[in-house]
Structure 1
């Protein structure tokens, strides 16, 4: 077996995520397929590159040496592809490539950008992993990345990226069944959810670590379900679980969304971009992107009653923004 670029990408993804499951999701393949591929790579090299532990995968000393050689090759190939695509885009017309984690502000942001940048080909790449989006941005595959950073769990930001802060601390609300006893109150105490199953998506960077830290500080050790948030909704509405959610989440007839007392769970909303090249072609419209994102986020925030009330109680500058 000869090593190919896809094998090197797989090794880098496993090292970056520390997990075969997360790496497989990042690469768009199944975990069994990635496990088989890793086994074949190790057999071809005649040595183990990762140790498999209960908490994830860690490179062996030989694995670290292989990775130190693989990363520059993968990065150079990604740069070659992105520069070639950028050159084609300059020939064909303006293009603006957006990466984003999930947000209720996305639809309004895209609508505003299309109005502000007529004739620009605006594309959107969604990913649950903020770190994956930042790596794509650093490799030139995106022009901006709108991501959230879980409080207490810093993102792994590649060198050279520049950051604009949209919201320094966005509280995370809690979603539960409409007939949950805690839903009768406008604000929920963590203690009222101590007996519930909590649902978390472990592939969202920092989500599980941040939740575990907050629950531990409150002296709560509930059973936890690991699943994606699309699956979560069906479990929440029948009372099988509760889950953190964005405060901009819209109301539903079969689900209650409430703020947590003292806002123990929070994220920062950030827009990253690469620095403009003074000697290169015209820089992507970073300032316009940020301004339209801020306006779209404000629209989404004020459209949701529970979050609007929270903003009023806290005297948020969003209420005064134009």
Structure 2
């Protein structure tokens, strides 16, 4: 016999009632039946759980251990059951989308919200978002990965939305601001800024710099507004996705030869609603972002093979 939650309920009932006879009455069982059940539970657990005499039943040291665990497990199991029932009887909220920092979430939400209700959740952690989709708390996750990295593992179904180069963002007074593109090696003396993430981008950037013949200096890992400010005041060069919309006072400059690449990925739960349509809308949102970026649009003319996935 394996230990089950109902067995823990019996142990807790005996402890709460203070005797087997009172527990039997509360559980609606005959006392001999409860006594026999308790003995079977004690055999499974390897020892007596209660000391019983004419004064009642008191937990042994083993009984206290089991009760401590039961008082954690039983409420948790009840909470899970209640949540599952609520989830099963709640109408679909529409599309639940998680995303890391990226340029196409707004366009995707705009397109989906024209048809259905949309809710969003953002995080710097791809692992957190993937877990939420696997647990059914989200339908989709919009995230990214370095161009040469593998597809994330797990139970999610993945679609590549685009393959984009990584560009650099500089202040409009920076020496390279008017260049058509810049060699990574020409930025060897710069400090850098990038938004955080838990992928391999930092390693890929270090390798690209090594191939260009230098080791990067200070790398500020921070949020988008801070990255923009550091570029505007000339404190750092920002690494950004090519679909990024540069704010006033900033200029986006392509890196020659695309030494860094970024894939936009859409992962989904196997039961996610209207998957083919959502994937198509994500690709349309990416194409819209490309059209809003003259620098990237011009670069794509000269560099086929990138952009929105077929």
**TM-score tier (shorter):** 0.5 to 0.7
Q: 1:86 matched to which residue of 2?
A: 87
Alpha-carbon shift at residue 154 of structure 1 (Å): 4.0
Distance 1:240 1:138, change over 3 A: same
Task: Give TM-score, length-normalised by structure 1.
Answer: 0.66
Partner of 1:172: 166
Q: 1:144 aligns with which of 127, 140, 143?
A: 140
1:252 to partner: Cα distance: 2.9
Question: For the Cα contact (< 8 Å) 1:151–1:210, is it kept in 2?
Answer: no
C-alpha spacing 1:83/1:244, structure 2 compared with 1 (3 Å):
farther
Distance 1:307 1:263, change over 3 A: same
Aligned-partner SS, 2:95 = strand
Asked if 1:222 corresponds to 2:216, the answer is yes
Are 1:236 and 2:219 counterparts?
A: no
Larger radius of gyration between Structure 1 and Structure 2: 2
Q: TM-score, normalised by structure 2?
A: 0.68
> In structure 1, how many angstroms separate the alpha carbons of the residues matched to 2:260 and 2:247?
22
Task: Provide the C-alpha distance between the structure 1 equivalents of 2:183 and 2:86, rounded to a whole number of angstroms.
Answer: 51
Go from structure 1 to structure 2 and tell me whether the alpha carbon gap of 1:136 and 1:320 turns closer, same or farther (over 3 Å shift): closer
Tell me how many residue pairs correspond in the alignment. Answer: 234
3-state SS of the aligned residue for 1:170? strand
Find the counterpart in structure 1 of residue 293 from structure 2: 304
1:80 CA drift (Å): 6.2
Distance in 2 (CA, whole Å) between partners of 1:302 and 1:85 is 43
C-alpha contact (below 8 Å) 2:164/2:262 kept by paired residues: yes
Alpha-carbon RMSD: 2.7
Alpha-carbon distance between aligned partners in 1 of 2:308 and 2:113, rounded to the nearest angstrom? 25
Distance 1:250 1:201, change over 3 A: closer
After TM superposition, the structure 1 stretch with the greater mean CA deviation from structure 2, 141-150 or 250-259, is 250-259
Residue of structure 2 equivalent to 1:109: 108
* Residue 262 (1) aligns with residue 263 (2): no
- Give 1:205 deviation, angstroms: 2.4
Query: What residue number does 1:11 align with?
Result: none
CA gap of 1:319–1:156, structure 2 versus 1, over 3 A, is closer
Cα deviation code 1:291-319 (max 9, x no counterpart): 11111110111111001101211245868
Whether contact under 8 Å (1:131, 1:157) holds in the other structure is no
